[in-house]
Structures are given as structure tokens and as C-alpha cells.
């Protein structure tokens, strides 16, 4: 209860009985109640806050502005009272102090990305071996040292460096027997044989052969272009063979007059050219691939057409090849002639393939009473550019 009140000195004893009882009850209940005490306050007095279920003490009192009074919670009545000694006792009965190997890492971390080991004192510690180094052993299925011991030592005598002292042509080595005598090939011995000579390796003495540069992993590369583009010269390539073919000519128009079927002329082949040229690594070279000539169209009426000539293919400014001419149209009663070819048969090589000409139009059989009909020629085949070079 919160009924504490001051009793004036002029109050009779009989009139003081009720206030005295109320004050006693208020003191015994620690000013119990849901609201903050506001009257007859004394610094250090207690208040049982029945709303928060807490015991609070007045630690600052302002007679003029009660709102400035400070009540500090000294006991949360919703929780069990305890002390440090009790807590320590409970902890010791539930978890024994950590000893042994893990005790070294209770309060500190190991060095990052290191392999954990047992140290000299038996405690867990970080080694000097990184996790990357440990990963390199992934996949090893047997003793590494045993595998290394089975390899040929770099200081062994499987190949003797004094080949210049030998005096037998390497071409006859196959005729020597295996053994330990002179002029025999040794079998896993320390005997140095005389009479064997490598003077004819690549036509050079052993010393000259060892000093010379030898490339044994070269490969020939073919790059064929069937569309125009750009070739970037690879590293270490300084020479290229270019094979250039022009487009084939288009075929001529075919003719059908209702009685005689005639075929248009076939287009001529494009020219084929080949050459070897110096190139610069990293430089770009323009590739032009020619289209084949268009076939003679089947236009309305009795108009007949010759096929168009094929285009010109080229490798940069170094080499070009012109296309074949178009096949002629067919007049009534005669076949068209093949277009003039720019293909050079005399200079032909296995690489000099050129664009083929298109076939001439061929009229189909019709009723003799029908009107004259034209048949279009085929288009010529496109050219191409092929580059041949060696990669080391």
C-alpha cells in the first residue's frame, strides 16, 4: 500500500492511531503498488512495483520536480536470486576444465590456411605446411619417394656426352651386338665403349649438332576460307603458301521451241593461283572469296541470256585469281558453248583447285503445240582461299 502520511505534532494520540497503522503497513509493504510514489518521499526508500514485479529504490529525489526522481531496480522479482559463488559452483559441477591437446586453442585461433599438427608438447598447433601444399598430394596412391627413386637420375650415364670421341658411323649402330667388349653396345654397365661415333647425326659432328637449334614438333596447318574475312598471322609464322581460286561462271539459258530441246552452255572454271609469301606475326591480311557467276535467267518472251562471269578471289595484295566466264545461251536447234575458262591447266598443281562453272539450263520436253519455253542456267560455284603454314 502507498498510504504513508506525516502526523502533525498537534494531533492527539487517539487521533494518531489510524495514521500510525497506515504508515507501519506502508513501510512493511515497501510502498507496494502499481504507481510511482509521489508523496512523503525519502531518499533511499523502497518501492515494490507490482506492475513490473520489481523492487526499486529511490536514488535521486527532487522536491520541486517529482518527474526527475530516479527509481533504480535492485531486484527483479520474476527471477531467482543468486550470487557469483553459486554460479561458479554450478559451472564447476557441469564442465571440467579443458586440458590436454585442445587446451592450446580455447581462446586463440590457429594461423589461417595451415595444416594442424600435434606440437612438441602434444598440443594442437599450426604447422608451416600450407593447405595448398597439402592439396598437391591429392591423388597420390603410393609412396612418393619410392616413385622418385624409380626415375632416371639426371646425373646418370645413360647418354655419354663425349660422342666426339667415337669413331663409328651412327648408321651402323643397329649392327652392333649388346655386350661389354669394344664396339658393342653396353647393357647397363659403367663401361664407356669406343668405336661408336655420332658424326653423321643430321650430317653434323656431335659438337655442332648439340649447338644447333632443332625443332621436332612442327605441324603443317591448312586454313581454308569459303567466305571473305581477315587472317591474323600467328606467332613465329614468317612464311605462308597461298592457294587462291576464282569463282566459276554461270550457265547459259536453255531453249525449248516445242520441238527441239537445247541446253545452255556450262560456265567456265575460275582460275587457280598459288604462291609463297613472307608474312609478319600478328599482322592482319584481307581475304577475299569470290562468288560464282549468276546463271542466265529464263526471262519472258524469247529473250535468251549468257551466264555471268565468276568473281575474283585474293589473298591481301599478294595474290589474286579471276573467275571463269559465263556459258552462252542456246539458240533454237543448237546447244550453248562453254564459257572461256581462266583455269590454267598447264600450271595446275594438287592445291590449285578453282571454282566450277554452273550447268546451263536444259528445257524439259513439252507438247509440240505449246509455246517456246526458256530454262535458266545454274549459278557458278564460289571460289576459295587456302593458307598453308608451319606452326612450331
In SS3 terms, 221-271 reads as: EEEEECCCEEEECCCCCCEEEEEEECCCCCCCCEEECCCCEEECCCCCCCC
Mean pLDDT, the chain, rounded, equals: 76
Establish if 197 belongs to a structural domain.
Answer: yes
Establish if 324 belongs to a structural domain.
Answer: yes
Q: Alpha-carbon distance 183 to 177, whole Å?
A: 8
At 239 the three-state DSSP class reads strand
Residues 175 and 279 in one domain: no
pLDDT at 316: 93
pLDDT at 77: 86
Spans in the chain with pLDDT lower than 70: 1, 29, 95, 152-218, 256-261, 299-304, 330-373, 392
Q: Model's pTM, two decimal places?
A: 0.42
pLDDT at 257: 62
Residues 169 and 40 in one domain: no
Residue 263 per-residue DSSP state: B
Q: Alpha-carbon distance 239 to 10, whole Å?
A: 131
In 236-306, beta strands by DSSP E? 239-245, 254-256, 261-262, 272-278, 284-288
Residues 209 and 221 in one domain: no
The owner of cell 566459276 is: 248
Nearest to 292 by CA among 385, 374, 229, 384: 384
8 Å CB contact between 254 and 264: yes
Establish if 118 belongs to a structural domain.
Answer: no
Q: Which domain-ending residue is among 214, 235, 254? A: 214
Establish if 70 belongs to a structural domain.
Answer: yes
Nearest to 270 by CA among 290, 286, 288, 251: 290
User: Which residues have C-beta within 8 Å of that of residue 343, sequence separation ≥ 6?
Assistant: 268, 269, 270, 271, 272, 324, 354
Q: Which domain-ending residue is among 32, 58, 76? A: 76
Residues 288 and 392 in one domain: yes
Establish if 268 belongs to a structural domain.
Answer: yes
Residues 206 and 224 in one domain: no
Q: Alpha-carbon distance 94 to 92, whole Å?
A: 5
Q: Alpha-carbon distance 17 to 12, whole Å?
A: 9
pLDDT at 179: 62
Tallying the residues shown for the chain, one arrives at 392
What are 287's three cell numbers?
581475304
User: Which residues have C-beta within 8 Å of that of residue 67, sequence separation ≥ 6?
Assistant: none
Q: Alpha-carbon distance 85 to 180, whole Å?
A: 92
At 174 the three-state DSSP class reads helix
**φ and ψ at 332, to 5 degrees?**
-60, 125
Q: Which domain-ending residue is among 197, 214, 231? A: 214
Number of structural domains, the chain? 3
pLDDT at 267: 83
User: Which residues have C-beta within 8 Å of that of residue 371, sequence separation ≥ 6?
Assistant: 258
8 Å CB contact between 353 and 245: yes
pLDDT at 237: 92
Residues 230 and 371 in one domain: yes
Residues 295 and 315 in one domain: yes
8 Å CB contact between 252 and 328: yes
Establish if 258 belongs to a structural domain.
Answer: yes
Q: Please, is 26 exposed, middle or buried when counting C-beta atoms within 10 Å of its C-beta (0-12, 13-18, 19+)?
A: buried
Residues 239 and 379 in one domain: yes
Q: Where are the alpha helices (DSSP H) in the chain?
A: 13-28, 84-94, 131-135, 144-149, 206-211
**φ and ψ at 336, to 5 degrees?**
-70, 160
pLDDT at 8: 86
Residue-wise pLDDT tens digits, 291-347: 988 888 876 555 667 888 889 999 999 998 888 888 887 665 455 555 555 555 444
Domain span at 44: 13-76
Q: Alpha-carbon distance 16 to 25, whole Å?
A: 14
Establish if 195 belongs to a structural domain.
Answer: yes
Residues 209 and 231 in one domain: no
Establish if 129 belongs to a structural domain.
Answer: no
At 380 the three-state DSSP class reads coil
Residues 205 and 234 in one domain: no
Residues 235 and 272 in one domain: yes
Residues 252 and 306 in one domain: yes
Amino acid at each position: 500500500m502507498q498510504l504513508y502520511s506525516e502526523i502533525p505534532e498537534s494531533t492527539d494520540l487517539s487521533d494518531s492511531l489510524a495514521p500510525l497503522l497506515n504508515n507501519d503497513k506502508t513501510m512493511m509493504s515497501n510502498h507496494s503498488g502499481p504507481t510511482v510514489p509521489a508523496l512523503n518521499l525519502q531518499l533511499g526508500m523502497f518501492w515494490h512495483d507490482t506492475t513490473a514485479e520489481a523492487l526499486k529504490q529511490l536514488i535521486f529525489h527532487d522536491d520541486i520536480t517529482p518527474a526527475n526522481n530516479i527509481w533504480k531496480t535492485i531486484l527483479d522479482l520474476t527471477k531467482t536470486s543468486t550470487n557469483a559463488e553459486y554460479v561458479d559452483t554450478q559451472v564447476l559441477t557441469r564442465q571440467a576444465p579443458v586440458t590436454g591437446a585442445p587446451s592450446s586453442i580455447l581462446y586463440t585461433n590457429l594461423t589461417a590456411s595451415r595444416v594442424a599438427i600435434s606440437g612438441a608438447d602434444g598440443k594442437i598447433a599450426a604447422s608451416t605446411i600450407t593447405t595448398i601444399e597439402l592439396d598437391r598430394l591429392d591423388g597420390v596412391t603410393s609412396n612418393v619417394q619410392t616413385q622418385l627413386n624409380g626415375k632416371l637420375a639426371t646425373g646418370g650415364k645413360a647418354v655419354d656426352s663425349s660422342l666426339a670421341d667415337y669413331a663409328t658411323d651412327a648408321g651402323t649402330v643397329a649392327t652392333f651386338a649388346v655386350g661389354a667388349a669394344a664396339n658393342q653396345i653396353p647393357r647397363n654397365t659403367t663401361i664407356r665403349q669406343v668405336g661408336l661415333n655420332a658424326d653423321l647425326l643430321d650430317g653434323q659432328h656431335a659438337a655442332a649438332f648439340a649447338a644447333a637449334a632443332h625443332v621436332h614438333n612442327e605441324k603443317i596447318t591448312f586454313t581454308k576460307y569459303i567466305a571473305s574475312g581477315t587472317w591474323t598471322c600467328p606467332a613465329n609464322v614468317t612464311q605462308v603458301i597461298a592457294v587462291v581460286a576464282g569463282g566459276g561462271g554461270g550457265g547459259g539459258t536453255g531453249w525449248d521451241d516445242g520441238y527441239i530441246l537445247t541446253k545452255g552452255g556450262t560456265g567456265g572454271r575460275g582460275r587457280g593461283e598459288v604462291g609463297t609469301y613472307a608474312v609478319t606475326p600478328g599482322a592482319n591480311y584481307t581475304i577475299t572469296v569470290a562468288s560464282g557467276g549468276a546463271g542466265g535467267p529464263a526471262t519472258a518472251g524469247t529473250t535468251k541470256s549468257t551466264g555471268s562471269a565468276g568473281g575474283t578471289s585474293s589473298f591481301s595484295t599478294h595474290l589474286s585469281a579471276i573467275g571463269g566466264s559465263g556459258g552462252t545461251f542456246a539458240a533454237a536447234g543448237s546447244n550453248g558453248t562453254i564459257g572461256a575458262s581462266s583455269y590454267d591447266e598447264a600450271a595446275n598443281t594438287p592445291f590449285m583447285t578453282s571454282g566450277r562453272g554452273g550447268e546451263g539450263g536444259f528445257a524439259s520436253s513439252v507438247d509440240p503445240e505449246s509455246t517456246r519455253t526458256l530454262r535458266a542456267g545454274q549459278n557458278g560455284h564460289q571460289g576459295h582461299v587456302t593458307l598453308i603454314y608451319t606452326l612450331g
